[in-house]
Amino acid sequence: MPDIQTQNDLYLIVDEFYKKLLSDERISYIFTDVVKIKIEEHLPILVTFWSQGILGTGGYTKNLTQIHLDINEKEYLSPELFTIWLSHFNNSVDENFKGQKAEQIKTQALSIATVMQIKISQKKS
Ligand code: HEM
């Protein structure tokens, strides 16, 4: 199995990942009802984001944690939702890629998810 090398590889991951998220009713409502994402606009943003982190390209400038704190204001992003999100993400990577970058992207996702959850729990108290 190859490692992640190009933006096309990242596109494949986020495409598979969103198929999993949208077909899982435990989490899909966040993307269809709470925030109505346009998938054809959303996926290129995700590729730019991960390309910055994994391939060292630039181009993503928004405050990702704040975007998720705003979603959390509309609908609580519970630890269970983060667990579901991470498991679909990790599976989308593992089903297609193996290697250093594949490990790196999963580690980054986990650390970003951890920061988001800490910020969310600080909001609650
Ligand atoms: C419970 C877990 C999560 C849920 C339900 C969730 C949901 C969402 C939703 C609904 C959007 C669209 C926001 C909008 O367009 O206004 C979004 C955007 C995004 N999410 Fe998440 N997210 C979660 C966790 C994460 C994590 C852990 C990461 C990164 C590791 C991440 C990365 C992104 C990125 C890169 C965007 C695009 C932001 C932009 O438009 O600039 N998400 N997320």
pLDDT digits (tens, 9 = 90+) for 32-58: 999 999 999 999 999 999 999 999 998
Q: Is the pLDDT of residue 98 over 90?
A: yes
Percent of the chain with pLDDT over 90: 96
d(CA 61, CA 64): 9
Atom of ligand 1 nearest to the CA of 70: 16
Angle, vertex CA 120, rays to CA 46 and CA 77, nearest 5:
60
Residue 123's pLDDT is what? Answer: 82
Is 121 a residue whose pLDDT tops 80? yes
pLDDT, the chain, mean: 97
Which pLDDT does position 8 carry in this prediction?
A: 98
Report the share of the chain in percent with pLDDT over 70.
98
Residues flanking ligand 1, CB < 6 Å:
27, 30-31, 35, 37, 45-46, 49, 62, 64, 67-68, 71, 77, 81-82, 85, 109, 112-113, 116
Residue identifier of the C-alpha nearest atom 36 of ligand 1: 46
Q: Residue 125 has what pLDDT? A: 57
- What value does the mean pLDDT take over residues 90-115? 98
Fold of 7-124: Globin-like (1.10.490)
The length of the chain in residues reads: 125
Overall average pLDDT of the 57-67 stretch: 95
- Mutate which of 68, 88, 111, 121 for ligand 1? The one with the most ligand atoms within 8 Å of its CB, which is 68
Tell me whether residue 47 is exposed, middle or buried, using C-beta atoms within 10 angstroms of its C-beta: 0 to 12, 13 to 18, 19 or more.
buried
Is the distance from CB of 73 to CB of 18 less than 8 angstroms?
A: no
Q: Please report, for the chain, the start and end positions of each structural domain, with discontinuous segments joined by +.
A: 7-124
Contact 97, 9 (CB under 8 A): yes
Whether 76 shows a pLDDT value over 60: the answer reads yes
Report the run of H or E that residue 90 belongs to, with start and end. Answer: helix 79-94
Query: Which residue CA neighbors atom 30 of ligand 1 most closely?
Result: 109
